[in-house]
């Protein structure tokens, strides 16, 4: 077990094994088994390539041997930031073979996030694209290498040209004969295989260790819950680093089932519909804002989408009026998904009554998943009442990586994870997400930590106080709104000026405020915290309480 990870307690681990949930199956075995059974079949399609199962395994083994030659060793952490493409899968499985642990970063992440991920994980390697959407990733990588002493190896997707000057190795040169070096280690199934990122309530994302046992079980159970088989073709159109895309059942579940994974690097209907028609995609997963685009696209695009069997929608609230249009427009089944990178997944199922599919997020994928809805004193509430959702189970984490202080607050004494989501259970045991208590904006499918953005805003010399809240948005569900108190006498920066300043600080673009409102003082709750509910009311045009408590503007000195 990697230092900094929290194991499952022995009694529960024993139970999960006894019940056949954890089968000691590693992700390395998952691929070799699939390659043995489905060798010549197409495993991956994307970036102009079609990769068979046999070729994927071969490529992963050669890349693994190459990584070893370039100094990547068992137990090393390697930040992987790639667009949706077959190479993402090849790199991850190569690292699994070496026993190194990929740390998933989003292509949209910039200096602030990548530096943090490298530092927190103590990464020795970083894999990134060349110039992508106008951004020079190799230049960023070289800068971070100067700042983070552990980071010794840089790898770029592409050729020498993409590497630019300096010590960046093109992935095309990460290649060696796997039979020449020592055999690859056999992974311990209870060890962390890779790290997902938390949707974040804290200023910076936390790392979620996912073990071989827990993730192979998750993809198996998720696959069963949507009837996934070897004839399925999964379209990965949301970022592949999302848990939703990677393993619900997503890319890994499809490979386990012997299906085909097709990558699209742009979720718009203009881009995805022809891919669905050409590759006969049967299943895909989208967030509600992308679903809305697809519903609009279906009105004027005439691609044949009749191969679609299941459309999974999750990651943010899906409104009933939108949900109702899925089956008539696409002729396929809607599957609502509630999920979190930390673990617990609930799905609506084939055969559920229409009302359940339209208005709930379904039931857990595992019989061993435990959900509790509790009040603020952790008292379990009766069915139907709204409270915080707590979760525990065979693929729900027991602790964030290297975060003992945060873990002490994020889990109950008996190991339930506090999701920060407000939910209720219907009489049939279906979950309905009703809101959240965590300080996060869910913008489209992206999770934006309010604390993180506030921290960056406060570094601006003209900003004295900052509070970030979600405001409703017809298309994205929510947008990021910043309430600011300006320094006395300072000129108030405009929204474009603030955005520019935050971009210069290396913040990912999806986290930038969409709206800024200047205010004289910030309202406070009775406990002396910023009253974000009052700000929410203000954003809806209601006024602040007259006799409330306010934080007076202070100076930024110090
Ligand atoms: P992430 O770990 O980035 O997948 O984010 C997990 C969070 O996304 C959950 O804790 C919820 O706040 C939110 N979420 C996921 N699925 C849904 C859903 N179906 N409806 C509403 N919120 C959701």
Q: What pairing do the DSSP bridges indicate for beta strands 168-170 and 417-425?
A: unpaired
Cα–Cα distance between 478 and 447 in angstroms, integer?
10
pLDDT band per the 50, 70, 90 thresholds, residue 100:
very high
Q: Look at residue 558 in the predicted model and tell me its pLDDT.
A: 30
Atom nearest to 198 CA in ligand 1:
2
DSSP element (H, E) containing 279: helix 269-279
The average pLDDT across 284-306 equals 97
Q: Cα–chain-centroid distance for residue 33? A: 27
**pLDDT over 50 at 554, yes or no:** no
pLDDT digits (tens, 9 = 90+) for 488-525: 999 999 999 999 999 999 999 999 999 999 999 999 98
DSSP for 504-530, written as a single string: HTT--GGGS-SEEEE-SSEEE-TTSSB
Cα–Cα distance between 535 and 539 in angstroms, integer?
6
Domain 440-552 - what CATH class? alpha beta
CB 148 within 8 A of CB 118: yes
Comparing C-alpha atoms, which of 281, 352, 345, 365 is closest to residue 323? Answer: 352
Comparing C-alpha atoms, which of 386, 376, 404, 391 is closest to residue 341? Answer: 391
Cα–Cα distance between 138 and 135 in angstroms, integer?
9
Cα–Cα distance between 122 and 124 in angstroms, integer?
6
Residue 272 CB: number of other CB atoms within 10 A?
Answer: 25
pLDDT band per the 50, 70, 90 thresholds, residue 174:
very high
CATH architecture of 28-39+53-187: 3-Layer(aba) Sandwich (3.40)
pLDDT digits (tens, 9 = 90+) for 358-370: 999 999 999 999 9
Place of tokens 């990547």: 72
CB 482 within 8 A of CB 516: yes
Whether 314 is in the pocket of ligand 1, judged by its Cβ within 6 Å, is: yes
Phi/psi at 19 (nearest 5 deg)? -80, 5
CB 212 within 8 A of CB 206: no
Q: Which residues pair with 530 in a beta bridge?
A: 524
User: Looking at the chain, which residues constitute the CATH 3.40.50.980 domain(s)?
Assistant: 28-39+53-187
Q: What pairing do the DSSP bridges indicate for beta strands 446-449 and 310-314?
A: unpaired
DSSP 475: T
Q: Which residues pair with 102 in a beta bridge?
A: 78
Q: Look at residue 2 in the predicted model and tell me its pLDDT.
A: 84
Q: Cα–chain-centroid distance for residue 230? A: 25
Whether 26 is in the pocket of ligand 1, judged by its Cβ within 6 Å, is: no
DSSP element (H, E) containing 482: strand 477-486
Pocket mutation for ligand 1, best pick of 395, 422, 442, 446 (most atoms within 8 Å of C-beta):
442
CB 96 within 8 A of CB 26: yes
Q: Look at residue 204 in the predicted model and tell me its pLDDT.
A: 84
Q: Cα–chain-centroid distance for residue 63? A: 25
Q: What pairing do the DSSP bridges indicate for beta strands 549-551 and 370-374?
A: unpaired
**pLDDT over 80 at 291, yes or no:** yes
Whether 425 is in the pocket of ligand 1, judged by its Cβ within 6 Å, is: no
The average pLDDT across 184-202 equals 93
Q: How far is the CA of 402 from the centre of ligand 1 (A)?
A: 23
The average pLDDT across 434-459 equals 96
Cα–Cα distance between 464 and 94 in angstroms, integer?
48
Whether 389 is in the pocket of ligand 1, judged by its Cβ within 6 Å, is: no
Whether 220 is in the pocket of ligand 1, judged by its Cβ within 6 Å, is: no
Whether 445 is in the pocket of ligand 1, judged by its Cβ within 6 Å, is: no
Comparing C-alpha atoms, which of 56, 35, 33 is closest to residue 45? Answer: 56
Residue 504 CB: number of other CB atoms within 10 A?
Answer: 9
Q: Look at residue 542 in the predicted model and tell me its pLDDT.
A: 77
Q: Look at residue 203 in the predicted model and tell me its pLDDT.
A: 78
Q: How far is the CA of 314 from the centre of ligand 1 (A)?
A: 7
Q: Whose CA is nearest to atom 6 of ligand 1?
A: 340
Q: Look at residue 557 in the predicted model and tell me its pLDDT.
A: 35
Whether 205 is in the pocket of ligand 1, judged by its Cβ within 6 Å, is: no
Q: Look at residue 545 in the predicted model and tell me its pLDDT.
A: 60
**pLDDT over 50 at 95, yes or no:** yes
Q: How far is CA 133 from CA 110, 269, 501, in A?
A: 13, 19, 20
The average pLDDT across 445-457 equals 96
Which parts of 274-426 are beta strand (E)? 283-286, 310-314, 333-340, 343-347, 363-364, 370-374, 387-392, 417-425
Q: Look at residue 164 in the predicted model and tell me its pLDDT.
A: 77
Q: How far is the CA of 303 from the centre of ligand 1 (A)?
A: 31
With a CB cutoff of 8 Å and minimum separation 6, the contacts of 59 are 51, 90, 94
Cα–Cα distance between 423 and 441 in angstroms, integer?
17
Cα–Cα distance between 558 and 550 in angstroms, integer?
21
Q: How far is the CA of 116 from the centre of ligand 1 (A)?
A: 23
Cα–Cα distance between 217 and 21 in angstroms, integer?
6
pTM of the model: 0.95
Is the peptide bond preceding residue 249 cis, with omega within 30 degrees of 0? yes
CA torsion through residues 124, 130, 134, 139, sign: positive
Q: How far is the CA of 462 from the centre of ligand 1 (A)?
A: 34
Cα–Cα distance between 70 and 493 in angstroms, integer?
47
Q: How far is the CA of 319 from the centre of ligand 1 (A)?
A: 14
Whether 361 is in the pocket of ligand 1, judged by its Cβ within 6 Å, is: yes
User: Looking at the chain, which residues constitute the CATH 3.30.300.30 domain(s)?
Assistant: 440-552
Q: Look at residue 555 in the predicted model and tell me its pLDDT.
A: 38
The average pLDDT across 414-442 equals 97
Atom nearest to 361 CA in ligand 1:
19
Q: What percent of the chain has pLDDT over 90?
A: 92
Residue 270 CB: number of other CB atoms within 10 A?
Answer: 12
Q: Look at residue 246 in the predicted model and tell me its pLDDT.
A: 98
Q: What percent of the chain has pLDDT over 70?
A: 97
**pLDDT over 90 at 549, yes or no:** no
Cα–Cα distance between 537 and 319 in angstroms, integer?
21
């Amino acid at each position: 077990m990697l230092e900094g990870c929290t194991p499952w307690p022995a009694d529960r681990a024993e139970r999960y094994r006894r019940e056949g949930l954890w089968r000691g199956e590693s992700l390395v075995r998952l691929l070799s088994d699939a390659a043995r059974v489905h060798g010549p079949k197409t495993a991956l399609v994307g970036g102009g390539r079609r990769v068979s199962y046999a070729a994927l395994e071969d490529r992963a083994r050669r890349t693994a041997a190459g990584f070893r030659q370039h100094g990547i060793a068992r137990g090393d952490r390697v930040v992987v930031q790639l667009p949706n493409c077959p190479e993402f899968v090849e790199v991850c499985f190569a690292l699994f073979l070496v026993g190194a642990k990929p740390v998933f970063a989003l292509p949209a992440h910039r200096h602030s996030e990548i530096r943090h991920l490298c530092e927190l994980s103590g990464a020795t390697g970083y894999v990134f694209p060349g110039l992508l959407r106008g951004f020079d990733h190799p230049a960023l990588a070289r800068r971070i290498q100067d700042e983070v002493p552990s980071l010794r190896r840089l790898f770029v997707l592409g050729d020498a040209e993409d590497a630019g000057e300096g010590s960046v190795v093109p992935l095309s040169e990460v290649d060696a004969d796997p039979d020449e070096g020592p055999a690859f280690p056999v992974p311990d199934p209870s060890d962390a295989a890779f790290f997902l990122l938390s949707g974040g309530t804290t200023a910076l994302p936390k790392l979620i260790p996912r073990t071989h046992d827990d993730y192979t079980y998750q993809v198996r159970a998720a696959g069963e819950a949507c009837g996934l088989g070897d004839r399925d073709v999964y379209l990965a159109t949301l970022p592949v680093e999302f848990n939703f895309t990677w393993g619900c059942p997503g890319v890994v579940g499809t490979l386990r089932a012997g299906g085909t994974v097709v990558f699209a690097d742009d979720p718009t209907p203009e881009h995805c519909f022809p891919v669905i028609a050409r590759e006969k995609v049967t299943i895909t997963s989208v967030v509600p804002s992308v679903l809305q685009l697809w519903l609009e696209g279906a009105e004027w695009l005439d691609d044949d989408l009749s191969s679609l069997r299941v459309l999974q929608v999750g990651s943010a609230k899906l409104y009933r009026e939108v949900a109702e249009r899925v089956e008539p427009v696409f002729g396929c089944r809607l599957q609502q998904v509630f999920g979190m990178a930390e673990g617990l997944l609930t799905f609506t199922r084939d055969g559920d009554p229409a009302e359940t599919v339209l208005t709930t997020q379904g039931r857990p994928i595992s019989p061993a998943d435990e959900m509790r809805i509790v009040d603020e004193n952790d008292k379990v509430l009766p069915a139907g009442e709204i409270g915080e959702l707590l979760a525990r189970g065979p693929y729900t984490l027991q602790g964030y990586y290297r975060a003992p202080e945060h873990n002490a607050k994020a889990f109950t004494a008996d190991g339930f994870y506090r999701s920060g989501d407000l939910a209720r259970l219907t009489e049939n045991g279906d979950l309905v997400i009703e809101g959240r208590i965590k300080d996060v904006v869910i913008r489209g499918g992206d999770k934006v930590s309010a604390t993180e953005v506030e921290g960056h805003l406060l570094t601006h010399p003209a900003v004295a106080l900052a509070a970030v809240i979600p405001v409703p948005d017809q298309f994205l569900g929510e947008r990021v709104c910043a309430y600011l108190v300006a320094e006395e006498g300072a000129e108030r920066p405009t929204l474009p000026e603030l955005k520019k300043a935050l971009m210069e600080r290396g913040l990912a673009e999806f986290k930038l405020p969409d709206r800024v409102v200047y205010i004289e003082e910030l309202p406070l709750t009775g406990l002396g915290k910023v009253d974000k509910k009052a700000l929410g009311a203000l954003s809806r045009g209601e006024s602040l309480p007259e006799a409330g408590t306010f934080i007076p503007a202070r100076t930024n000195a110090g």
